[in-house]
């Protein structure tokens, strides 16, 4: 996920949170000139792709991550993508379910309206095949 930061991030950060470890991995870091909304003062900020995963606390985990940051970052990217994809599929499924009522045989839709709804449903079903899925989705608009 693309984030804005007030500091130049390291390749990774490890934070102990109770019985869990939160690991954040960064890549594609860019320095950007920003302006504070309140004061109008200019400052240097940063943007980066950040991938976060959690694991149960393990004393040796930080060492394992540090010695193989690339593999852990790839794991974090995969897990984040899978989690977001599942969330977006659920959203799509709810939209499909809501549109089911328009597809009943006894509907009062004209043939043109029925085709519009069929096209909408096809577009919803194809959401996971979009090139930017699950980060950049062009959601179809439900016909009126």
Query: Any idea where the domains of the chain sit in the sequence?
Result: 1-67, 86-144
Longest dimension (CA), the chain: 65
Quick: pLDDT tens for 26-68. 999 999 998 888 999 999 999 999 999 999 999 999 999 999 9
**Count of C-beta atoms within a 10 Å radius of residue 37:** 7
CA distance 135 to 81: 8
CA distance 73 to 107: 51
* pLDDT for the residue numbered 81: 93
Quick: pLDDT tens for 90-127. 999 999 998 887 676 656 778 898 899 899 999 999 99
* pLDDT for the residue numbered 106: 59
CA distance 56 to 46: 30
CA distance 5 to 30: 10
* pLDDT for the residue numbered 31: 96
């Amino acid at each position: 996920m693309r984030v804005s930061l007030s500091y130049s991030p390291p390749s990774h950060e490890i934070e102990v949170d109770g019985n869990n470890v939160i690991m954040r991995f960064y890549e594609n870091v860019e320095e950007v000139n920003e302006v504070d909304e309140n004061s109008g003062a200019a400052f240097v900020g940063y943007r980066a792709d950040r991938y976060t995963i959690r694991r149960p606390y393990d004393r040796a985990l930080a060492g394992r991550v540090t010695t193989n940051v690339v593999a852990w970052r790839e794991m974090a990217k995969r897990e984040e993508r899978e989690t977001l994809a599942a969330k977006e599929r659920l959203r799509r499924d709810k939209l499909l379910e809501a549109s089911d009522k328009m597809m009943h045989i006894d509907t009062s839709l004209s043939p043109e309206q029925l085709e519009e709804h069929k096209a909408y449903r096809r577009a919803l079903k194809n959401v996971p095949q979009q090139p930017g899925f699950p980060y950049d989705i062009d959601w179809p608009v439900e016909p009126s």
